């Protein structure tokens, strides 16, 4: 078993450091920094007051007139606690932790609660160690939740299996904040022993447990909450949100690149329940960050909707800190970390300066820290595909009446559709150019199983060629779509050869590609490079493969293998009905 390489104990404060803080706070010694003439957002009392904010040794020490080594006139800017994203997957931005720091800190984010289950599904604890190493080089505070479901279900092959025994020792690591989103909600509710052992291991370590329970309701939801799971980011309706609040769970309101649940849930936020509401992005691509922002974007949307600005800031700071036990941050209180975001006002939330531990880290959109990157050698070259052949893509359909995965707009939930299709003489699917149904394939790439599973996908819009990607949540096998077996096979082979990423094929020629060398899911380049390449790939898909412009070609495809989000998905083992948690045949049996 691979264990994380770290001393497990957090450093303790020294008597001399505490004494100096008392002397500075009491005015007997100079502070390191004084932010003068600033509107201080007090998230504890839900008010704003004007004054000065003193910092010493990376901590806030007091308000008022202090002597300081450095004095900054803030000219009436508003001081917020550093913003906290309560749930994010760094890998979904397709950049590394050091790069996500460069992208997010200028938007006022100083802490993210990150669940690296994407890289853990590819490389297990080796991938976790890489993420910890990379985070140590970032200015951003990256608080990791230990992935709880690798694989997310037992109905797929991932790059690792992290059972309860494998998680117990890492949970003792001081760098691990808690247990990540428990996607196997059915296993928890049914009392699956391995699920319960994982929960007990987190409780023994005194760590919080995050949730993931789409569609769970009634007694099943109560059982899930009773296990000790603290929150959920999978609410999509007001009813789901209110039921989770009733069950004592925090609700993480999400606005990512793919899932936009925030506006659906804001009508349920009141002054009575807002302190149980958090803001998160979950999955936010580099392009979205560069064009719309991060937590500053979510704050703007809250205020535009009509939420009181102070309540909005609470949801992005204090609430998140309290929910996950980060009692050293989340508010501008003496003794807490001097993570401070200075904004122009409480409507646009335009970020002017960002401080981490009292050190200016970003100014007017510029990251002031030199980016140093961790070695990616341990997570490079993660493709182990056995005996892939074009013949494995053939479907032996016994009926024209079939199940299809229906793409639904606005999220990652899919429909369980049916259709009548044409068959070739050997029983394989025969695509109709007038019908928007294409073949979908998942190729196992971690364990040399040789597994290839196929299904039919409706609503993707692809009219010719094929696309293959190695981003297929959550196990990240190869997923490909196309109208022709030869085209799909060409795309899969090219993807394996370039060690992952994205490949687009037309007439058995690669017409566009992007390499993702870090586990096949992240680039070692900048966020701007990733954003530009994705823009190019989208144009290729729309213009040359004739995918409709209302479809995001890569992200949409990447979620078609996620067997914890309803309703119908495809894993390397077959077509999976998430509502019944069982495999189903493609053909529909006629009665």
- 137-167 per-position pLDDT tens digit: 999 999 999 999 998 888 999 999 999 999 9
Closest CA relative to residue 118, chosen from 369, 469, 543, 439:
469
pLDDT in tens, 453-499: 999 999 999 999 999 999 999 899 999 999 999 999 999 999 999 99
What is the length of the chain? 591
Domain architecture of the chain: domains with CATH? 22-76 (2.30.40.10), 81-331 (3.20.20.140), 380-583 (no CATH)
Distance CA 22, CA 345 (A): 32
Nearest to 365 by CA among 352, 349, 356: 352
Q: How far is CA 399 from each of CA 69, 416, 428, 584, 590, rounded to the nearest angstrom?
A: 79, 17, 10, 14, 9
The torsion of the CA quartet 571, 573, 574, 579, rounded to 10 degrees, works out to -60
Closest-CA residue to 509 (of 532, 483, 479, 486): 486
**Coil, strand or helix at 305:** helix
Q: How far apart are CA 382 and CA 501, in angstroms?
A: 11
| Strands 141-146, 176-182: pairing kind | parallel
In the predicted structure, residue 452 carries a pLDDT above the cut 60: yes
How far apart, in whole angstroms, are the C-alpha atoms of residue 77 and residue 40?
9
pTM: 0.93
Interatomic CA distance for residues 591 and 575, integer angstroms = 21
Closest to 460 measured CA to CA, from 437, 433, 490: 437
Asked if pLDDT for residue 528 goes beyond 50, the answer is: yes
- Name the band, by pLDDT with cuts 50, 70 and 90, for residue 549: confident
Preceding amide of 151 cis, omega within 30: yes
H and E: helices and strands count for the chain: 16, 30
SS3 label, residue 170 = helix
Neighbours of 411 (CB within 10 A): 16
pLDDT at 7 exceeding the cut of 60 = no
Identify which of 45, 34, 94, 101 has the alpha carbon closest to the alpha carbon of residue 68.
Answer: 34
pLDDT at 11 over 70: no
Are 520 and 123 in contact by the 8 Å Cβ rule? The answer is no
Q: Could you give the count of Cα atoms lying within 13 Å of 374 in the half-sphere of its Cβ?
A: 22
pLDDT given at position 258:
76
Residue 147: the pLDDT is 97
The answer to whether 124 touches 97, Cβ cutoff 8 Å, is no
For the stretch 288-335, pLDDT in tens is 999 999 999 999 999 999 999 999 999 999 999 999 999 999 999 999
Share of residues in the chain with pLDDT > 90 (%): 90
Residue 1 pLDDT grade (very low, low, confident, very high; cuts 50, 70, 90)? very low
Q: What is the 3-state secondary structure (H, E, C) of 197-228?
A: HHHHHHHHCCCCEEECCCCCCHHHHHHHHHCC
**Ramachandran area for residue 218 (φ above 0: left; ψ -120 to 50: alpha; else beta):** left
pLDDT exceeds 90 at position 364: yes
pLDDT of 8 strictly over 90: no
pLDDT of residue 409: 78
Instruction: Name the pLDDT band for 566 (thresholds 50, 70, 90).
Output: confident
Task: Tell me the C-alpha distance between 129 and 186, whole Å.
Answer: 29
| CA gap 192, 175 in Å, rounded | 28
DSSP conformation letters of 253-298:
EEB-SS-B-HHHHGGG--TTTGGGEEEE-BS--HHHHHHH-SHHHH
Tell me, what's the pLDDT at 287? Answer: 93
What's the rounded Cα separation, in Å, for the pair 561 and 544?
25
- Alpha carbon distance 458, 440 (integer Å): 10
What's the half-sphere exposure (Cβ side, CA atoms, 13 Å) at 104? Answer: 30
Going by C-beta distance under 8 Å and a sequence separation of 6 or more, which residues neighbour residue 223?
188, 189
Average pLDDT, the chain: 95
DSSP 522: B
The 10s digit of each residue's pLDDT in 400-428 is: 999 999 998 766 789 999 999 999 999 99
In DSSP terms, 423 is beta-bridged to: 429
Q: For the residues 247-272, what does the mean pLDDT come to?
A: 94
Task: Compute the average pLDDT of residues 200-220.
Answer: 96
How far, in Å, CA of 138 to CA of 159, rounded?
Answer: 26
Dump pLDDT digits (tens) for 424-447: 999 999 999 999 999 999 999 999
Residue listed under structure tokens 């007091």: 62
Integer Cα distance of 145 and 85 in angstroms: 13
Beta partners for residue 80, in sequence order? 341
Report the Cα 191 to chain-centroid distance in Å.
Answer: 27
């Amino acid at each position: 078993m691979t264990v994380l390489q770290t001393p497990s104990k957090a450093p303790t404060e020294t008597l001399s450091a505490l004494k100096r803080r008392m002397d500075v706070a009491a005015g007997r010694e100079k502070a390191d920094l004084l932010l003068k003439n600033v509107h201080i957002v007090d998230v504890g009392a839900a008010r704003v007051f004007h004054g000065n904010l003193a910092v010493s040794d990376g901590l806030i020490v007091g308000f008022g007139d202090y002597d300081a080594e450095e004095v900054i006139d803030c000219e009436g800017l508003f001081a917020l606690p550093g913003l906290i994203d309560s749930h994010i997957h760094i890998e979904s931005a397709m950049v590394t932790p050091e790069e996500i720091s460069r992208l997010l800190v200028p938007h006022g984010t100083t802490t993210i609660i990150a669940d690296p289950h994407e890289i853990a599904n590819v490389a297990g604890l080796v991938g976790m160690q890489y993420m910890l190493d990379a985070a140590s080089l970032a200015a951003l505070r990256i608080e990791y939740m230990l992935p709880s479901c690798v694989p997310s279900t037992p109905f797929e092959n991932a790059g690792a299996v992290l059972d309860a025994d494998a998680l117990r020792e890492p949970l003792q690591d001081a760098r691990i904040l808690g247990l990540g989103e428990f996607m196997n909600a059915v296993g928890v509710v049914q009392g699956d022993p391995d699920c319960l052992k994982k929960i007990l291991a987190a409780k023994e370590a005194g760590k919080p447990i995050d949730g993931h329970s789409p569609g769970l309701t009634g007694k099943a939801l109560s059982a899930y909450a009773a296990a000790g799971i603290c929150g959920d980011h999978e609410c999509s309706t007001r009813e789901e949100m209110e039921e989770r609040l009733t069950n004592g769970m925090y609700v993480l309101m999400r606005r990512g690149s793919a899932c936009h649940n925030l506006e659906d849930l804001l009508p349920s936020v009141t002054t009575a329940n807002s302190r149980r509401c958090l803001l998160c992005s979950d999955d936010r691509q580099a392009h979205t960050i560069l064009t719309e922002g991060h937590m500053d974007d979510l704050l703007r949307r809250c205020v535009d909707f009509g939420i009181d600005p102070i309540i909005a800031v609470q949801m992005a700071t204090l609430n998140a800190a309290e929910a996950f036990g980060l009692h050293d941050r989340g508010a501008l209180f003496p003794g807490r970390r001097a993570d401070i975001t200075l904004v122009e006002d409480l409507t646009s939330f335009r970020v002017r300066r960002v401080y981490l531990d009292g050190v200016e880290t970003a100014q007017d959109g510029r990251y002031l820290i030199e980016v140093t990157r961790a070695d990616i050698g341990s997570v490079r070259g993660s493709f182990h595909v056995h005996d892939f052949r074009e013949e494995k893509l053939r479907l032996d359909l016994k009926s024209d009446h079939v199940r299809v995965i229906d793409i639904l707009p606005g999220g990652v939930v899919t429909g369980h559709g049916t259709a009548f299709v044409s068959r070739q003489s050997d029983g394989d699917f025969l695509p109709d150019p007038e019908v928007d149904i294409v073949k979908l394939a998942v190729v196992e790439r971690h364990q040399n199983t040789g597994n290839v599973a196929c299904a039919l996908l409706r609503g993707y819009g692809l009219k010719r060629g094929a696309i293959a990607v190695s981003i297929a949540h959550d196990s990240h096998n190869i997923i490909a779509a196309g109208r022709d077996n030869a085209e799909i096979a060409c795309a899969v082979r090219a993807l394996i050869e370039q060690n992952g990423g994205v490949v687009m094929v037309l007439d058995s020629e690669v017409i566009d590609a992007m390499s993702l060398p870090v586990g096949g899911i992240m680039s070692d380049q900048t966020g701007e490079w990733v954003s530009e390449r994705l823009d190019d790939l989208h144009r290729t898909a729309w213009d040359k493969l004739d995918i409709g412009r209302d479809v995001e070609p890569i992200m949409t495809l990447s979620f078609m293998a996620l067997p914890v989000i309803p309703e119908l998905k495809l894993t390397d083992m077959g077509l999976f009905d998430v509502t019944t948690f069982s495999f189903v045949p493609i053909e529909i049996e006629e009665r």
